[in-house]
Amino acid sequence: MRPGPAADMVDWRPFSLPRRCLAMPQPAFSLDQLRIVLIGTSHPGNIGAVCRAMKNMGLGDLALVAPRCEIQTSDSIARASGADALLIGASRHETLDAAVADATLVVGASARSRTLPWPMITPRALGESLPAELADPQGRVALVFGREDSGLTNAELQHCHHHVHIPTDPDFSSLNLAAAVQVVAYECRLAWLAAAEPTEAGSEAAPFGIDWDHPPASHDDLERYFAHLERVLTDTGFHDPQRPRQLMARLRRLYLRARPDTQEISILRGILSAVEKRIAGR
């Protein structure tokens, strides 16, 4: 864990002790559990400026999905203003799924609302949810940002649990990419600082309440489930991929809203396998 405001204090707590018993301030999560994901960026200067914004806020994990420009140029290095290590260390991925496979929460940043409404939060609400989302050190939150010219596609947005919208003037809603990262990262930092202060609140706000028995399913678990579900719905004749009528998008929205844990996903996969077995023997 990166040193926080309470880094000089030794954490002696037994793992399961409820947070409300704590007398000592302790950051509830690490900023290293956050990843910024940029999809299809086309200006090197914007990538540099994102690195600077991230480093200012203490974030260090940058993932680039199918960038449409060179990464290390004089422009990006100048705009990184000393945050070159992030530029050089950024991971590269072909697809969004690969960049967020291990994430337990995926949030897409969007300047506008789309045809199918999706759970939408403000950057502040996102920050406030982080201590609970990341109380488990295995928790990972991916914050996904789109292309300068066209944002995120509907398909990409439908791979996210929530969307975050910076409440701009509706007549002029699109921020520069690095400015959008700055605002969201700032709220994450404020939440991280607030989590370091002693609180009586406890972790009742955790995604599933306290003492849940299984961790949240990862993005990768969920995507494999959606692929399996679509296969079975097609095989049974319920779903016609030629006339999809937003069926899979609506089912995605339902399951992503429910935040299934790993055990629940295994049960759902088991049900699908049983259906497959039965239709194969028909």
Pair of tokens at residue 248 = 């899979």
Sheet hosting strand 62-65, strand order edge to edge: 91-93, 62-65, 34-39, 141-145, 105-109, 162-164, 120-121
**List 22, 66, 69, 175, residue binding ligand SAH (CB under 6 A):** 175
Kindly tell me which of 56 and 168 has the beta carbon lying closer to ligand SAH. Answer: 168
Q: Is 174 in the site for ligand SAH (CB under 6 A)?
A: yes
DSSP label at residue 155: H
Count of residues engaged in binding ligand SAH, rule: CB under 6 A? 20
Q: Which two tokens stand for residue 4?
A: 């926080």
Of the ranges 47-55, 60-68, 146-154, 211-219, which one interacts with ligand SAH (CB under 6 A)? 146-154
Show contacts with ligand SAH in window 74-93 (CB under 6 A).
none
* Phi then psi dihedrals of residue 109, to 5 deg: -90, 125
182 makes contact with ligand SAH (CB under 6 A): no
**Residue nearer to ligand SAH on the CB measure, 168 or 199:** 168
Lookup: tokens for 44: 């090197």
Work out whether 173 is an interface residue with ligand SAH (CB under 6 A): yes
> How many residues would you count in the chain?
282
CB of 160 to ligand SAH, least distance (A): 11
Query: Do 181 and 123 contact (CB within 8 A), yes or no?
Result: no
Residues 107-126 that bind ligand SAH (CB under 6 A): 109-112
Q: Which of 146, 160, 225, 260 binds ligand SAH (CB under 6 A)?
A: 146
C-alpha 66/C-alpha 68 separation (Å) is 6
Measured CA to CA, the distance from residue 223 to residue 233 in angstroms comes to: 15
Closest CA to 186 of 164, 216, 206: 164
**C-alpha to C-alpha distance for 174 and 112, rounded to whole angstroms:** 8
| Token code pair at residue 175 | 């921020």
Q: How far is the CB of 64 from ligand SAH (least distance, A)?
A: 14
> Cα 128 from chain centroid?
14
Using CB under 6 A as the binding rule, whether residue 30 contacts ligand SAH is answered as: no
Residue of 83, 126, 142, 166 that binds ligand SAH (CB under 6 A) = 166
Q: Is 148 in the site for ligand SAH (CB under 6 A)?
A: yes
The verdict on 168 binding ligand SAH (CB under 6 A) reads yes
User: Minimum distance from CB of 181 to ligand SAH (Å)?
Assistant: 8
Which stretches of the chain bind ligand SAH, using CB under 6 A?
A: 109-112, 145-146, 148-152, 164-166, 168, 173-175, 177, 180
